[in-house]
């Protein structure tokens, strides 16, 4: 097609497509390309509706950057890049193919079909869009919720509201999340962590459901086509994904809820040599990916066919530019880095002691108030929980918290000491290098693995629907089915399962560190025993909102637990507890460990019980309290705990939580809770938990109010 628009030299910075007063500037890095052309496509993208601008390297190349400025373009036009390079043997690692139209790595928006619709082959279309001209944020600013006060709620944008029971006008979309904001506020969480929202191809899954023959989908989306562009299929109006994403962020911020993105910088959708070429491979393969220096095979630390060359300066810049864009232009509050240990590998795949990109993320001034969370392992066996980075800003998914809680609550003996360490903030992992309890993201379940309901209902994974003959998924879930595999009508087993769910919730929400819940766990969502539902765009993965009504007692329990945490700073400490010593009397200790008898914790190899007293040593202002928590990890026997002195003058103990009781008796308001005498014995059911809270006696409370009033007047 004949070129109709005047062009000029353009600028090598910034990369991507940028609207300027003089026109639209296009810039692309490619060190090894010998020729480059910008491909422009009209709305009906086909060969006859495209034209190419061939770039003269003498005019349109500065260093390794190809660039051009176009005076103006019609609305809705698409673009891509065509590159050609040395025709060298595969051993060079180069992969140029001038028959392909490549995605711009810096494209902020891609044209893509609605969810589940077939796509044209990679490299066959112009898909990149010119960025929009702005957005009215209406004064929106970051919430900057202190990380120790954060409660994270992990959710899948589509799965959260796509089920008909959600009763959303815009199911499966960013607008669907907006519709559920009242629910999120009532639950009490402070941040949503969105599973991948950058563009991916959900139709690239090669597996089929063996029962129906239906092709499965890449539902989770951990296979990025772009590090920037929000997924258009998550927008109710797929022509405006940027606007709808921003609307969602703005609405969540108004409700006091932060937005954390689960981002994937460890690999891309291009896979290995047999995968599709859509962008990075065709632009500069040995720059963007880790390749074996001898065979030029892809180093596969991600388990997905390729590994991004994260510590190469060019890739580092891409990652940093993407993070800054999400924070500056999209107002995102934080990031969870998938398989983050890959960020710590050099260009040969070796583990670095001080990885440049990890340090850059932590020290970047634009990201200074942004929450940064590492999944501190990768698919090649590198496990760095507690050692991902010494930098105080890096938090980590604490896999050891997950595993120790699961072991204790499946009846494994000898876990009392390990569980105590996790409850106290995992000082063994984070204190040695000056980090704090809030560097630990505590979780029991995540998108990857069993739901909380399935954790207490299945011994084995049930992944046949994934089409891999049950070979996929973790074989070491540390679950226990409570006496029967899968669904059961046995009321005793049902009671035990619910008791275990609530007891684990108490541990999660009342431990030091930052708790993370998975959407639906609060009302009993099940995946029918599937512990690797990455390919299940079905009721296996979707939230069935009818469960919120069916299991409203369980939902109430979670709501009240989250509020208890919010209302009492003793559960949200910024620093670790001071280590007990002979010269520190019990009255000055903030946490005291107990067993069935006061002051006698059982750390033996056969122990399956734990109790602890949390004491608020802040000068008494009448707003906080002490707590005594009793946990029974026995699978079949109740345990009696002797109640210790509360450590708080002029107060009494009241039983606010008993996970063995039915709702609403399982969580009682302090004012109506049963009083428990010091020295009395409290029965804790198998796999149960009981929590006592101090209440200041009325006469003492009256004196306190009088004293506070006098202080205020003075």
Radius of gyration of the chain (CA): 28
Q: Which residues contact 121 (CB under 8 A, 6 or more apart)?
A: 276
CB atoms within 10 A of CB 666: 21
User: Which residue, 219, 223, 317, is CA-closest to 272?
Assistant: 223
Q: Which residues contact 553 (CB under 8 A, 6 or more apart)?
A: 662, 663, 664, 666
What ranges do the domains of the chain cover?
Answer: 7-129, 586-713
Q: What is the pLDDT of residues 509-521, one digit of tens each?
A: 999 999 999 999 9
Q: In what order do the strands lie in the sheet with 591-594?
A: 591-594, 609-614, 627-632, 689-696, 651-658, 674-676
Q: Which residues pair with 259 in a beta bridge?
A: 192
User: Which residue, 497, 499, 506, 504, is CA-closest to 526?
Assistant: 497
338 belongs to the catalytic site: yes
Q: Give the pLDDT of residue 343.
A: 97
**What are phi and psi for residue 454, nearest 5 degrees?**
-75, -30
Q: Which residues contact 287 (CB under 8 A, 6 or more apart)?
A: 31, 32, 309, 312, 314, 315
In whole angstroms, what is the distance from residue 687 CA to residue 480 CA? 12
Average pLDDT over residues 152-164: 98
Q: What is the pLDDT of residues 221-250, one digit of tens each?
A: 999 999 999 999 999 988 889 999 999 999
Q: Give the pLDDT of residue 1.
A: 46
Q: Please say whether the structural domain 586-713 has been given the CATH code 1.10.510.10.
A: no
CB-count exposure of residue 52 (10 Å: 0-12, 13-18, 19+):
middle
The DSSP code for 198 is: B
- Whether 280 and 268 have beta carbons less than 8 Å apart is answered as yes
- Whether 659 and 688 have beta carbons less than 8 Å apart is answered as yes
Judge whether 7-129 and 586-713 match in fold: yes
User: Which residue, 592, 570, 565, 577, is CA-closest to 646?
Assistant: 592
Q: Give the pLDDT of residue 229.
A: 97
Share of the chain above pLDDT 70, in %: 94
7-129 folds as Immunoglobulin-like (2.60.40)
Write down the H helix ranges in 143-240.
Answer: 157-161, 174-179, 181-187
- Which of 154, 244, 262, 375 does the annotation list as catalytic? 375
Q: What is the pLDDT of residues 362-411, one digit of tens each?
A: 999 999 999 999 999 999 999 999 999 999 999 999 999 999 999 999 99
Q: Give the pLDDT of residue 711.
A: 54
Average pLDDT over residues 541-548: 98
Q: Give the pLDDT of residue 519.
A: 98
| 689 three-class SS | strand
Distance from the first to the final alpha carbon of the chain:
84
Share of the chain above pLDDT 90, in %: 88
The owner of tokens 């209440």 is 695
CB-facing half-sphere around the CA of 689: CA atoms within 13 A = 28
In whole angstroms, what is the distance from residue 631 CA to residue 593 CA? 12
Q: Which residues contact 672 (CB under 8 A, 6 or more apart)?
A: none
Q: Give the pLDDT of residue 586.
A: 65
Q: Give the pLDDT of residue 657.
A: 98
- Whether 224 and 198 have beta carbons less than 8 Å apart is answered as yes
Q: Which residues contact 564 (CB under 8 A, 6 or more apart)?
A: 509, 510, 571, 656
Q: What is the pLDDT of residues 286-334, one digit of tens each?
A: 999 999 999 999 999 999 999 999 999 999 999 999 999 999 999 999 9
Look at strands 651-658 and 609-614 and give their pairing. unpaired
In whole angstroms, what is the distance from residue 96 CA to residue 450 CA? 42
Q: Which residues contact 659 (CB under 8 A, 6 or more apart)?
A: 499, 502, 503, 506, 666, 685, 688, 689, 690
Report the length, in residues, of the chain. 714
Buried b (16+ CB within 10 A) or exposed e, 128-146: bbbbeeebeeeebeebebe
Q: Give the pLDDT of residue 699.
A: 67
Q: Give the pLDDT of residue 437.
A: 98
Look at strands 128-129 and 78-84 and give their pairing. antiparallel
User: Which residue, 241, 315, 232, 254, is CA-closest to 280?
Assistant: 315
The owner of tokens 């600028």 is 11
Q: Give the pLDDT of residue 578.
A: 87
pTM listed for this prediction? 0.96
Q: Give the pLDDT of residue 583.
A: 63
Q: Give the pLDDT of residue 238.
A: 84
Q: What is the mean pLDDT of the chain?
A: 94
pLDDT band at 674 (very low <50, low <70, confident <90, very high): very high
- Which of 193, 262, 338, 454 does the annotation list as catalytic? 338
Q: Which residues contact 585 (CB under 8 A, 6 or more apart)?
A: none
- Whether 224 and 196 have beta carbons less than 8 Å apart is answered as yes
* Sign of the torsion angle spanned by Cα atoms 352, 354, 358, 360: negative
Q: What is the pLDDT of residues 191-226, one digit of tens each?
A: 999 999 999 999 999 999 999 999 999 999 999 999
CB-count exposure of residue 238 (10 Å: 0-12, 13-18, 19+):
middle
**Least confident interval from 75-89, 158-172, 526-540, 617-631:** 617-631
In whole angstroms, what is the distance from residue 423 CA to residue 517 CA? 16
pLDDT band at 697 (very low <50, low <70, confident <90, very high): confident
In whole angstroms, what is the distance from residue 610 CA to residue 601 CA? 7
The larger pLDDT score, comparing residue 185 to residue 650, is at 185
């Amino acid at each position: 097609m004949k070129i109709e628009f005047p062009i000029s030299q353009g600028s090598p910075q910034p990369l991507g497509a940028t609207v300027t007063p003089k026109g639209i500037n296009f810039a692309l890095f490619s060190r090894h390309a010998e020729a480059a052309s910008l491909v422009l496509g009209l709305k009906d993208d086909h060969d006859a509706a495209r034209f190419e601008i061939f770039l003269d390297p003498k005019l349109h190349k500065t260093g390794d950057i190809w660039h051009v400025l176009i005076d103006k373009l019609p609305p809705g036009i698409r673009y891509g890049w065509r590159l050609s390079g040395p025709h060298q043997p595969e051993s060079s690692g180069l992969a140029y193919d001038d028959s392909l139209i490549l995605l711009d790595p810096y494209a902020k928006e891609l044209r893509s079909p609605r969810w589940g619709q077939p796509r044209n082959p990679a490299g066959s279309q112009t898909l990149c869009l010119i960025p929009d001209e702005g957005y009215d944020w209406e004064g929106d600013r970051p919430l900057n919720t202190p990380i120790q006060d954060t409660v994270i709620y992990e959710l899948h944008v589509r799965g959260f509201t796509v089920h008909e029971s959600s009763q959303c006008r815009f199911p499966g979309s960013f607008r669907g999340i907006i519709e559920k904001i009242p629910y999120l506020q009532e639950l009490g969480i402070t941040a949503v962590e969105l599973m991948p929202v950058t563009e991916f191809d959900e139709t690239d899954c090669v597996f089929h459901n063996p029962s129906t023959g239906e092709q499965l989908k890449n539902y989770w989306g951990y296979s990025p086509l772009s590090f920037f562009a929000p997924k258009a299929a998550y927008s109710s109006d797929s022509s405006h994904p940027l606007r709808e994403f921003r609307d969602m962020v703005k609405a969540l911020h108004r409700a006091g809820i932060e937005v954390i993105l689960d981002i994937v910088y460890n690999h891309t959708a291009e896979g290995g040599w047999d995968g599709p070429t859509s962008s990075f491979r065709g632009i500069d393969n040995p720059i963007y990916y880790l390749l074996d220096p001898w065979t030029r095979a892809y180093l596969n630390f991600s388990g997905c066919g390729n590994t991004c060359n994260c510590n190469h300066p060019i890739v580092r810049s891409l990652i940093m530019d993407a993070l800054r864009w999400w924070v500056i232009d999209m107002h995102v509050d934080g990031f969870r880095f998938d398989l983050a240990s890959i960020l710590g590998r050099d260009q040969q795949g070796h583990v670095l002691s001080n990885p440049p990109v990890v340090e850059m993320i932590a020290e970047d001034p634009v990201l200074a108030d942004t929450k940064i969370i590492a999944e501190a392992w990768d698919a090649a066996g590198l496990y760095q929980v507690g050692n991902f980075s010494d930098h105080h800003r890096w938090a980590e998914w604490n896999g050891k918290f997950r595993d120790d809680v699961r072991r204790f609550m499946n009846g494994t003996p000898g876990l009392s000491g390990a569980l105590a360490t996790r409850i106290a903030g995992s000082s063994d992992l984070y204190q040695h290098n000056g980090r704090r309890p809030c560097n630990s993201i505590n979780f029991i379940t995540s998108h990857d693995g069993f739901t909380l309901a399935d954790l207490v209902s299945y011994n084995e994974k049930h992944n046949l629907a994934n089409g891999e003959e049950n070979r996929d998924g973790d074989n070491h879930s540390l679950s226990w089915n409570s006496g029967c595999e899968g669904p059961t009508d046995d009321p005793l087993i049902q009671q035990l399962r619910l008791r275990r769910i609530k007891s684990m919730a108490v541990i999660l929400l009342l431990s030091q560190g930052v708790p993370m819940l998975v959407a639906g766990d609060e009302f009993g969502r099940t995946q029918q025993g599937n512990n690797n539902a990455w390919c299940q765009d079905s009721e296996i993965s979707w939230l069935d909102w009818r469960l919120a009504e069916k299991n409203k007692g369980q939902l109430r329990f979670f709501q009240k637990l989250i509020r208890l945490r919010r209302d009492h700073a003793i559960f949200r400490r910024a620093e670790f507890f001071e280590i007990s010593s002979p010269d520190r009397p019990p009255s000055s200790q903030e946490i005291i460990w107990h067993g069935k008898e006061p002051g006698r914790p059982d750390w033996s190899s056969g122990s399956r019980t734990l109790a602890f007293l949390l004491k608020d040593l802040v000068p008494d202002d009448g707003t906080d309290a002490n707590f005594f928590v009793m946990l029974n990890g026995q699978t079949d026997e109740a345990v009696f705990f002797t109640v210790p002195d509360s450590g708080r003058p002029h107060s009494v103990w009241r039983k606010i939580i008993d996970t063995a009781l039915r709702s609403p008796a399982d969580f009682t308001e302090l004012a109506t809770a049963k009083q428990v005498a010091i020295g009395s014995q409290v029965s804790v059911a198998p796999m149960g938990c009981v929590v006592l809270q101090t209440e200041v006696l009325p006469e003492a409370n009256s004196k306190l109010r009088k004293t506070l009033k006098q202080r205020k007047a003075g």
